Each structure stands twice: as C-alpha cells, then as structure tokens.
Structure 1
Amino acid sequence: MKNKILKNGIITFMLLFTIAGFSQGNSANILLDAFYSKIKSQKNPQIIDARGSDEFALNHIEGAVNFNLKSEDYEKHVAALNPSQPVFIYSIAAYRSGLLSTDLAKRGFNEVYILEGGIASWIGGGKPFYSNLKSKLSIAEYKKILADNQYVLVDIGSKYCATCKTVKTILEDIRSQYGKKLKIIEIELEESPQVIADLKTVKVFPTLILYQNGKIIFKKDGLGNLKSDVDVALAQN
C-alpha cells in the first residue's frame, strides 16, 4: 500500500513539475508518436522547420513554416506565432531546433516541443510529408538489391547531416577491404525520401543497416564504431 501511495506521489510530482516547467516557458524533446499526436490534437498547429531554405524546399512536414535564428525575417516569423499555443520544431538533428526553442522559451512561449531525431524520424516513421522530387531508389529496387547480394550495408542519411559526412570516409575503407563481398548502398534524404519512408525503420541520421541474405544482422541508430561492427559481423557469418 505504501509503495502504491509513493508511486502515485512520484507520478503526481513529475506531472506538476512538467506543467510548472512549461508555465515558465520551457521546451521538451519528444519522440515521434507523441510529437505527431500533439500536432494532430491542434486545429492549426504551429510547426517550424528550423533547417535551411534549400533543405526545406526539397522536403518538409506538411503545414510547416521555415525559419531559424539566422533567418533575415526571424522577428517577423516569431511575431506571427501565438505564444499561448504549442510550437512544434524539427530540423536534421537537434542543434538548430534547440537554439530556436531556447529563444522562444525566453520570449515566453509556454510549450515548445522538439522532435527527437528530426526530419529523419518523421519521414522514417512513415508520416506524411511534402517532397518536390521522385525518389531515385524505390522500395522494390531496394529489396531486389538485398535479394541479389549476400551481404549488403545500407547507409541512410542526408548531405546536410555532419555525422553522415563522417560515415562516407569509413565506407570507403570498408569498400576497399571487402570489395565485391559486401554491397554498399548509400541513401540520402535529398535523393530518395520515399524509400526511407517505406522502410518505416529510420529514427535518426545516419542509420546503418547490415543485411545477410535479406535479413538484418545489425541496425545502428547513429555512427558508433561502424568499421569494427562490420568486421565482427562478417567474421562471424
């Protein structure tokens, strides 16, 4: 009985703490399902894409407006927002979203939510999005590559993602070592957004997936120690 009372007390305290934090102007990183659910609960959700204008032009969440702290018309965009209503922010990762959310919180915005994993999580989770291009790679072609090769390493990312650029040099080392034994596919958001959406497994950029005969050996959300992990996996299989 005491444990139950204590548990209920802790839950109540956490709830009050969260409410108090937002009442003072705060922000919170939340996962895709919660982010999506909160957006759907709003009649006219205030969604901000904090990436660059060139990134936004290629793909974005439907209904989003595009600006960040470096935008020339930043003050105009902020003035158009309702500080008493929730604001939903995303970018590639958390950097630009974090800077923007911090500034909005200082300006008195009560609820600011940042999408954990950014646009990768949204599109990778199969949520609706706008794109001005047709995917270079289809899901059918993706599956054929898996069927035609014993080992396939898939790199999913974006040319605007700093960590994704680091992956490229590591992939070159892996390609040089394993040659034709290992097929490497590089999928970028700017070229093939639909296949990323169709996979429904991407949460962050980069995402690395190693397959053997069409089955996943490992999936990495982020770079980690990719070269070592590939070496170990191929040595064991």
Structure 2
Amino acid sequence: MKNKIVKNSISTFILLFTIIGFSQTKSSNTVSLDVFYSKIQAEKKPQIIDARGPEEFALNHILDAVNFNLESKDYAEKIAKLDKSKPVFTYSIGAGRSVWLADDLLKKGFKEAYSLEGGIANWIGSGKPFFANSKSKLTLTEYNKIIADNKTVLVDIGSVYCGACKKVKPVLETIKAQYGSNLKVIEIDLEDNTQVIADLKTIKVFPTLILYQNGKIILKKEGFENLKNEVDVALASK
C-alpha cells in the first residue's frame, strides 16, 4: 500500500512538472503579426484555425478562419480536412490554445504550423481584416471625446474570455476608490467594442491599460502586474 502511494505521488509530481515546463516554454512556431500576416497573404487559400471556443468564434474572428481546438469532439475529422503539405495558421485569445494546436499539427506530420503571438488581440488591435457579429457600442469619435472631456482617464482594454483581464477588475476597483471623480475609468471589451479596438491600432495583447492626462498618454501597460503602483507613480509625477 505504501509503495502504491509513493508511486502515485511520483507520477503526480512528474505530470505537474511536465505541465509547468510546457506552459512556460514559448513555442518556436509562435510568430509575430507581421510574419503571420505576410505568410497568410502568400497563400491563395490560407488554412486559418481559430483555436478558441465556439462562442468566442461566433462573436469575432479572422476572416476565412475555421473554428476548432484540441478539445473539439470532431478534432480528428477537422484535421483530416486540412492539407498537410501547406502551412496552417492558428490563433487564440493570446497564444495558449493556438500554440498547443500548432505543435500538435506538426507532430501529426504537417509541414508548417504557426501560432500568432498576441492572438486575436494582436490581429484586431492592429486593424487587420476581421468578422464581428455586431457593431461596437463605442465609436472612435466617442472614445476620443471622452479622453478630451476628462482631465485624467484610465482605459482598460481586454476580453471577457481573457483570464488575465479578469484579474485587472479588482485592481481597477481599488484605483477607482482611491481617485474617485478625479479619474475616469473606461472598460472596453473585445466582444462589445471590436471596431474601436481595431480603430485604435495600438493593441497587441490583452489586457492593455492606457492612462491619459490632458489628452496625452502618460502610461501604456500590457498585463496587470503592478498596475496600481505604476498608475500611482505616473499620476504623482504629473
């Protein structure tokens, strides 16, 4: 019984180590937006795969993309429809599911498979062609008016499907409580405001935080680590 427990513990440790190691390793097949886009442009009928969930795909996606990932029930059938001799282009909300998919395709004998660095955030945030099932609630003109009409504005740009974006929310509440009416906070999600994110042409990853003062950017931050401290420092220096 004791030996069985020890063996199970060792197996669990090995599995955990493997998962941690894999999650921290950036795939060599993850490429920049410029490389990803240029390779797609070079193909007559590019094989583009959206590795997000079906509900995410239905809201917005890269034009001509198809939707499936490693967890799809018909994964094998979807793979069988692809041409192994031609490049496959994968993307997700960031570069998680798409990296795993690209790596799996290569293991299955595909000649080339590329994952987009920054995922859908990078693609749409740079103004590349996309599909969205609804108009943005906020226009770029309205966005610029908010920036112009308020002395200090903190803009949070992300997605409801982005794990890191969810961690920003409690930090924003703390910032709101501290600065009150002296700081206007705007939260812009990809699902509700796809076009305005595209029009800004400055977003490469979710979440992205932009702090304006008197219409000028005084802080632009990708990710949520040390957000409050950086906002405090930026405002204190002005």
TM-score (norm 1): 0.88
Q: Does residue 37 in structure 1 map to residue 38 in structure 2?
A: yes
- State how far apart, in whole Å, the 2-side matches of 1:34 and 1:185 are: 32
Q: Does residue 115 in structure 1 map to residue 122 in structure 2?
A: no
CA contact (8 A) 1:207 1:221 kept: yes
CA contact (8 A) 2:51 2:98 kept: yes
| TM-aligned CA deviation for residue 61 of structure 1 | 0.3
- SS of the residue corresponding to residue 29 of structure 2 reads strand
Superposition map of 1:1-237 within 5 A = 28-237=29-238
TM-score (norm 2): 0.88
CA contact (8 A) 1:51 1:68 kept: yes
- State how far apart, in whole Å, the 2-side matches of 1:231 and 1:35 are: 37
CA contact (8 A) 1:159 1:188 kept: yes
CA contact (8 A) 1:152 1:212 kept: yes
Residue aligning to 1:3: none
CA contact (8 A) 1:27 1:101 kept: no
CA contact (8 A) 2:126 2:198 kept: yes
| TM-aligned CA deviation for residue 221 of structure 1 | 1.8
CA contact (8 A) 2:69 2:75 kept: yes
- SS of the residue corresponding to residue 209 of structure 2 reads strand
CA contact (8 A) 2:92 2:120 kept: yes
CA contact (8 A) 1:27 1:105 kept: no
CA contact (8 A) 1:154 1:187 kept: yes
Note the residue ranges of structure 1 that are not aligned, 5 or more in a row: 1-25
- SS of the residue corresponding to residue 71 of structure 2 reads coil
Runs of 4+ in structure 1 deviating by more than 4 angstroms, as ranges, are none
- SS of the residue corresponding to residue 227 of structure 1 reads helix
Note the residue ranges of structure 2 that are not aligned, 5 or more in a row: 1-26
Alignment root-mean-square deviation, CA: 1.0
| TM-aligned CA deviation for residue 224 of structure 1 | 2.6
- State how far apart, in whole Å, the 1-side matches of 2:59 and 2:75 are: 21
- SS of the residue corresponding to residue 133 of structure 1 reads coil
- State how far apart, in whole Å, the 2-side matches of 1:77 and 1:214 are: 48
Residue aligning to 1:13: none
- SS of the residue corresponding to residue 106 of structure 2 reads helix
- State how far apart, in whole Å, the 1-side matches of 2:236 and 2:222 are: 22
CA contact (8 A) 1:27 1:114 kept: no
Counterpart amino acid of 2:223? G
- State how far apart, in whole Å, the 1-side matches of 2:32 and 2:226 are: 25
- SS of the residue corresponding to residue 130 of structure 1 reads strand
- 1:206-231 CA-to-partner distances (Å, cap 9, x unmatched) read 00100011100011122231000011
| TM-aligned CA deviation for residue 27 of structure 1 | 5.6
CA contact (8 A) 2:29 2:99 kept: no
- State how far apart, in whole Å, the 2-side matches of 1:148 and 1:224 are: 29
